[in-house]
Structure 1
């Protein structure tokens, strides 16, 4: 950029050429002057304690202090609220844990039930600091997590107990039947000699429904030379129930059955002297007394006996 200067004092016109570096230099000098002026004014103001400047600084400090105080107060209020929530949650979990442990049949640890020593004295408030409040929150959060883990374990035990009960043959396989031969030794009805009887006999008219004593999978549904029409139901872990001398079989091998499902009908097939159901319970192939399981049900006590 060029500037032409014309004056009556000058014999001829002058031309001034302004380069980019000249502009940059002028801007730099301008900013330096502004900075020095501001610094000088600040120094004079602070040194001579001008009222206007002091008021401005005091106002700024008060505003910063107020903002900091509000921030701390809000955080403390939030932390106190969180602490109260954790305390309430822990109390609820403790109460729920006691009820669930009773249902699950799990006794709490001795340390948990031990009585605390006596305490007393006047109430002297001692507010927690921010650090102590944070530590208390962390302690309660840990206690809540631990209690939640204990409840999860008890839930698992309840589920396990429920599954065991579903798979335990406790339902009477024939309703309104008459109790016949028991488990153990007896005189054989055909030979008249002492023999072993590995199950229970339930006498009922031919065609009376026979139901599954528990949940399971049909292991066998076929004809046996001595047991006649026979159904074996696998309940898992080596536990099997057997239903023999049936007049009809309503299930097939590998079929899933539920407790109380009709699986057949009373009959007198095989080595039998009359219509009845021969019921067995075996654990890993070893005969067990079915009465031990059936007594856990509600119908066994009302069973008619000869």
Structure 2
């Protein structure tokens, strides 16, 4: 095969351009290892070109093909590395997003637990109010589902809006709790007042033998202002406190015989007279219905009975207004 000088120069120019491109490509990817090898290959190629031009031209063409294949392989390897790096970066970002979302869920779960505790407290408070106020069951049942509705498109709720809503709900629950606590105190005070109000007869299964106000004196005639109400009783019958209170007197008073007096703490004091025996002492706390004495006929009395008086802010009043105006009949 005979090569003209122009063809030879063209082949040499092509080979040198391919070698230069190869060297630049390898230098960009594997600089430290490829440059010495490329330099040696270039030196051997130059020697071969000078000594055997025909063979060198074939070798150069083969090298060009090999370099093309090698370059394509290197390009594919670099592209794969780039894609793997991108995938790793996305996975890292997804993991960071997952951790952040979990922190948000944990925070919302903690806040939800606080709101549930507030709701449970309000429910317990509602049950107490139901008992105190004698309301129907379910009046303060906060766990009962409430009917709601509405029309319109639904959208995703941002986390910030959800946190804001939970905060507002928490504030509302606390405000409702404070209001119910005040209501509980008012109802409790009302309940105390109710229990401290004379509202029952001082003896069971009895009837009134002498009413309040003017009457004929049973000891020798004439008129007398009767300060209380007399209930028929047998000696030893239980005498009962008509309301909650504190015993302020337990002893003998002129004309009354053995007397018990109870202060109910709301301006009312009750007196139980002519007892045969006293069962309480000064300072004792008594509940309505508790036995405080035994009926008798001590003091200025014609026979066994219970003399009952009610004093309101230091003034004696008719006990019948607290007993519903109806005498208790003996059964």
TM-score after normalising by structure 2: 0.61
Distance change in 2, residues 1:89/1:206 (3 Å): closer
Match for residue 210 of structure 1 among 223, 239, 243: 239
Distance change in 2, residues 1:120/1:228 (3 Å): closer
Distance change in 2, residues 1:132/1:243 (3 Å): same
Any stretches of 5+ residues in structure 1 without a counterpart? 1-39, 42-47, 107-118
| Residue aligning to 1:172 | 201
The CA deviation at 1:132 is: 0.8
The CA deviation at 1:153 is: 2.3
Secondary structure in structure 2 of the residue aligned to 1:291: helix
Kindly indicate whether the alpha-carbon contact (under 8 Å) linking 1:177 and 1:203 is maintained by their aligned counterparts in 2. Answer: yes
| Residue aligning to 2:285 | 256
Distance change in 2, residues 1:87/1:229 (3 Å): closer
1:32-75, Cα deviation, whole Å (9 max, x unpaired) = xxxxxxxx99xxxxxx9943552354134202321233235435
Distance 2:233 2:127 in 1: 47
TM-score after normalising by structure 1: 0.65
Any stretches of 5+ residues in structure 2 without a counterpart? 1-30, 33-74, 136-147
Distance 1:260 1:154 in 2: 28
Kindly indicate whether the alpha-carbon contact (under 8 Å) linking 2:196 and 2:266 is maintained by their aligned counterparts in 1. Answer: no
Residue 303 of structure 1 pairs with residue 316 of structure 2: no
| Residue aligning to 1:141 | 170
Query: Which of the two has greater strand per residue?
Result: 1
Match for residue 185 of structure 1 among 214, 217, 228: 214
Kindly indicate whether the alpha-carbon contact (under 8 Å) linking 2:249 and 2:260 is maintained by their aligned counterparts in 1. Answer: yes
The CA deviation at 1:239 is: 2.2
The CA deviation at 1:244 is: 0.7
CA RMSD of aligned residues (A): 3.8
Query: Which of the two has greater helix per residue?
Result: 2
Task: Give runs of aligned pairs for residues 23-172 of structure 1, distance below 5 A.
Answer: 50-51=78-79, 54-75=82-103, 77=105, 86=115, 93=122, 97=126, 100=129, 104=133, 122-172=151-201
The CA deviation at 1:263 is: 1.9
Task: Between 65-74 and 224-233, report the one with greater CA deviation.
Answer: 65-74
Secondary structure in structure 2 of the residue aligned to 1:185: strand
Distance change in 2, residues 1:302/1:52 (3 Å): farther
Secondary structure in structure 1 of the residue aligned to 2:300: coil
| Residue aligning to 2:39 | none
Distance change in 2, residues 1:246/1:225 (3 Å): same
1:134-159, Cα deviation, whole Å (9 max, x unpaired) = 11010011111112222322332333
Kindly indicate whether the alpha-carbon contact (under 8 Å) linking 1:281 and 1:287 is maintained by their aligned counterparts in 2. Answer: yes
Kindly indicate whether the alpha-carbon contact (under 8 Å) linking 1:104 and 1:154 is maintained by their aligned counterparts in 2. Answer: no
The CA deviation at 1:190 is: 3.1
Kindly indicate whether the alpha-carbon contact (under 8 Å) linking 1:211 and 1:259 is maintained by their aligned counterparts in 2. Answer: yes
Alignment coverage as a number of residue pairs: 244
Task: Between 131-140 and 148-157, report the one with greater CA deviation.
Answer: 148-157
Distance 2:150 2:270 in 1: 66
The CA deviation at 1:279 is: 0.4
The CA deviation at 1:78 is: 5.1
Kindly indicate whether the alpha-carbon contact (under 8 Å) linking 2:193 and 2:266 is maintained by their aligned counterparts in 1. Answer: no
